Amino acid sequence: AQSVTQLGSHVSVSEGALVLLRCNYSSSVPPYLFWYVQYPNQGLQLLLKYTSAATLVKGINGFEAEFKKSETSFHLTKPSAHMSDAAEYFCAVIRGGTASKLTFGTGTRLQVTL
């Protein structure tokens, strides 16, 4: 069964610093991978998704992620953190085909400090 593991439940960076949120997947077939962001008392918003078209995926708000099959990773990065990036981030995987069920990681709360 597909699953994702997010390393680090809390990450703190200074404003302007690099953001790196880690996600590793476990899958026996090529996965479809997603990063979602959740602001307090809000639903989930899709940041980006990997569907095998390109290994480097660019998303909204300056975020990007690189799919590395050899490392089974799909880490989320942003070159320069902004205060508005403070939120919880979830990595998710979908089985593919007609399945729409998303399996989420445990989430990483990003704190951005001045």
Partner 1 sequence: KAGVTQTPRYLIKTRGQQVTLSCSPISGHRSVSWYQQTPGQGLQFLFEYFSETQRNKGNFPGRFSGRQFSNSRSEMNVSTLELGDSALYLCASSYGQGSNTEAFFGQGTRLTVV
**Buried/exposed code over 36-64 (b: 16+ C-beta within 10 A; e: otherwise):** bbeeeeeebeebbbbeeeeeebebeeebb
The pattern of x and - marking residues 7 through 46 that bind partner 1 according to CB under 8 A reads -------------------------x---x----xxxxxx
Amino acid at 100: S
- By CB under 8 A, residue 51 contacts partner 1: yes
Phi-psi region of 63 (alpha: psi -120 to 50; beta: other; left: phi over 0): beta
- Stretch binding partner 1 (CB under 8 A), from 10-18, 64-72, 77-85, 97-105: 97-105
Min. distance of Cβ 104 from partner 1 in angstroms? 4
C-alpha gyration radius of the chain: 13
The phi and psi torsions of 18 (rounded to 5 degrees) equal -70, 140
Q: Could you say which of 55, 106, 111, 113 contacts partner 1 (CB under 8 A)?
A: 106
- By CB under 8 A, residue 97 contacts partner 1: yes
Interacting residues toward partner 1 by CB under 8 A: 32, 36, 41-46, 49, 51, 90, 94-107
